Structure 1
Amino acid sequence: MKAQILSALKKPRRGPVLTLSKILLASYVLVALAAPLIAPQNPYDPLQIFGWEASSPPGTLGSGGYLYLFGTDGLGRDIVSTILYGLRISLVVSIVSSALAALIGLTAGVSAAYFGKWVDVVIMRLVDLQLSLPTILIALIAIVTLGPGVDRIILALVIVQWATYARIARGVALSEVKKPYMDAARLMRLPTSRVIFRHLLPNSIAPAITLIPIEVGHAVALEATLSFLGLGVPIDKPSLGSAVANGFQYLMTGQYWISLFPGLALFGLIASINLVGEDVRRSLDPRNQTR
């Protein structure tokens, strides 16, 4: 009975919540890609914004002839459009930063295991140092040093995330370097780069790959936090974090919609990514494969 319970707990969770998360995430991606086509306005084009319609409540009919379904913010920008354009930034930043962090972290971890000695010591001490500090602190230091900008916030998130991949990859690679195929590669005097990237790395990345979907959600949350604090995406670029921050000062005046709807969109994005990512991780985990 105990074995059956443990087996059931290890199986990937299926159900209406997961199905809804997949539909929601797919919807986010689709509307983000189609934002220029379906958004009522470009919220960062001054020619499309009517300042006299600032802080219009949800359901207001605008001067441009379209409905402000979620209202407008303090500058007269349509909140629906702000959300659609903000999704594009959030998804691009999170996916690109997670992919780059995985590439750098996996390469560093495998190199540490392959070369050993001082290379291993240096890389792993950097990993230990980074993982001992709060993630948000590292992100703040990185973005303050690098400055604002979409490319810089991607780099800051790469700095935050690479260490986790490096530690996991090194742990797997330490067992791989002792296997016969690695001895054969050394005896054949293959180039070091070929041994690492053609043989060792492909056999060491499986556990770390399952981490990528979770790290994407983590990156979305970090980007939104930095943008909310005014240290992330520049103010002339759309971002869900900055959209929430734009309405923060209006909450006490009853204009809740300026922060509420971008906040709900951000919550739904992070929740759907985490739920789908956890399902992907469980599905790829060899311990959960049906025998």
Structure 2
Amino acid sequence: MKAETLRTLWRYPWQHRFSLSLVLLAAYILLALAAPFIAPQNPYDPLQIQAWEASSPPGTVSGVGYAYLLGTDGLGRDIVSTILYGLRLSLLVAVTSTAIAAFIGLTLGVSAAYFGKWADALIMRIVDLQLSLPTILVALIAIVTLGPGVDRIILAIVIVQWATYARLARGVALSEIGKPYLDAARLLRLPTHRILFRHLLPNSIAPAITLIPIELGHAVALEATLSFLGLGVPIDKPSLGSTVANGFQYLLTGQYWISLFPGLALFGLIASINFVGEDLRRRLDPRRRSHGA
């Protein structure tokens, strides 16, 4: 009885953290979707930006009547608005790149396991080569080669992430090769693409469910890093990373709010995604369920 009570008390913090992280992540997503309706201004529209009110401190009342609750940046854009629109762009880049990387990586991973021989050797050598290099180095090489832009950022993150999914999918698919359902599919002479996408891939995708949230947070952080280095989205398309970078040069003059508030929003977004992903992994871990932990 005492052991069961201790086990219950141990579970509560994880359950509460998962719930709070899920609520926070849902709030971020809702704010991003509602940005055009709740943001005080559109930071993409130069007609709505009061350039003479650049670097205004938090609480300053604008010339058109509303207050800059978190101040303005060096271009006169409302920080609240840049955070809300930055959330949209950061989540768009992260979700799109993660989805494409997962599809490519899972497809190549199960293909390597199914075809074997030279296909397996070729794909896995490329995977090994990429995973042996630092992530940020691969991203920098990709973005320098492709050039700046939102679509190029997405492609660069795809290049970084696909190999992780490929290795995971190959390992799971190898355990599926030789099972009766695949033997039956071959005996029925089903097309190869149908065997891969209708049978092998769906049965190899389960572990990727816990990997996707982690890679999603990684994509947000990577986009922010590239934007902070000036290799990400253009300055006229605010993401959380580029907003933090825009305010970095003003820190020495005491204008902390330009970087501080977007940085806190970025930290909260990445933390909520990572906490949800980690707790999802714990909940779906078969070893944890088997031990009743």
C-alpha distance in structure 2 between counterparts of 1:283 and 1:42, whole Å: 40
Aligned length: 289
C-alpha distance in structure 2 between counterparts of 1:114 and 1:10, whole Å: 42
Which position in structure 1 is the counterpart of 2:80? Answer: 80
C-alpha distance in structure 2 between counterparts of 1:94 and 1:170, whole Å: 24
C-alpha distance in structure 2 between counterparts of 1:236 and 1:110, whole Å: 41
Which position in structure 1 is the counterpart of 2:266? Answer: 266
| TM-superposed deviation, 1:66 | 0.6
C-alpha distance in structure 1 between counterparts of 2:69 and 2:223, whole Å: 26
C-alpha distance in structure 2 between counterparts of 1:268 and 1:176, whole Å: 39
| TM-superposed deviation, 1:104 | 0.6
C-alpha distance in structure 2 between counterparts of 1:13 and 1:141, whole Å: 41
Which position in structure 1 is the counterpart of 2:134? Answer: 134
Moved over 6 A (4+): 7-12
- What RMSD in Å do the two structures reach over aligned CA positions? 2.2
Which position in structure 2 is the counterpart of 1:193? Answer: 193
Q: Which amino acid aligns with 2:211?
A: L
C-alpha distance in structure 2 between counterparts of 1:203 and 1:289, whole Å: 20
Q: Which amino acid aligns with 2:61?
A: L
Percent identity between matched residues is: 79
Q: Which amino acid aligns with 2:91?
A: L
Query: After alignment, is 28-37 or 12-21 more displaced?
Result: 12-21
Answering whether residue 224 of structure 2 is matched by residue 232 of structure 1, we say: no
The answer to whether the 8 Å contact 1:220/1:270 transfers is yes
The answer to whether the 8 Å contact 1:173/1:204 transfers is yes
Q: Which amino acid aligns with 1:179?
A: K
Scaled by the length of structure 1, the TM-score of the pair is 0.94
| TM-superposed deviation, 1:12 | 9.3
C-alpha distance in structure 1 between counterparts of 2:285 and 2:34, whole Å: 34
Change (3 A) 1:200 1:102: same
| TM-superposed deviation, 1:285 | 2.7
| TM-superposed deviation, 1:282 | 2.0
Which position in structure 2 is the counterpart of 1:62? Answer: 62
Answering whether residue 69 of structure 2 is matched by residue 104 of structure 1, we say: no
Change (3 A) 1:172 1:228: same
C-alpha distance in structure 2 between counterparts of 1:9 and 1:104, whole Å: 42
**Structure 1, unaligned runs of 5 or more:** none
C-alpha distance in structure 2 between counterparts of 1:113 and 1:103, whole Å: 16
Q: Which amino acid aligns with 1:253?
A: T
**Which secondary structure state, in structure 1, belongs to the residue aligned with residue 40 of structure 2?**
coil
| TM-superposed deviation, 1:13 | 5.8
Which position in structure 1 is the counterpart of 2:52? Answer: 52
Answering whether residue 218 of structure 2 is matched by residue 218 of structure 1, we say: yes
Query: After alignment, is 229-238 or 31-40 more displaced?
Result: 229-238
| TM-superposed deviation, 1:11 | 6.8
Which position in structure 2 is the counterpart of 1:17? Answer: 17
**Structure 2, unaligned runs of 5 or more:** none
The answer to whether the 8 Å contact 1:13/1:279 transfers is no
Q: Which amino acid aligns with 1:221?
A: A
Scaled by the length of structure 2, the TM-score of the pair is 0.93
| TM-superposed deviation, 1:281 | 2.0
C-alpha distance in structure 2 between counterparts of 1:221 and 1:24, whole Å: 17
The answer to whether the 8 Å contact 1:12/1:282 transfers is no
| TM-superposed deviation, 1:120 | 0.2
Query: After alignment, is 189-198 or 214-223 more displaced?
Result: 189-198
| TM-superposed deviation, 1:26 | 1.1
Query: After alignment, is 219-228 or 275-284 more displaced?
Result: 275-284
Which position in structure 1 is the counterpart of 2:39? Answer: 39
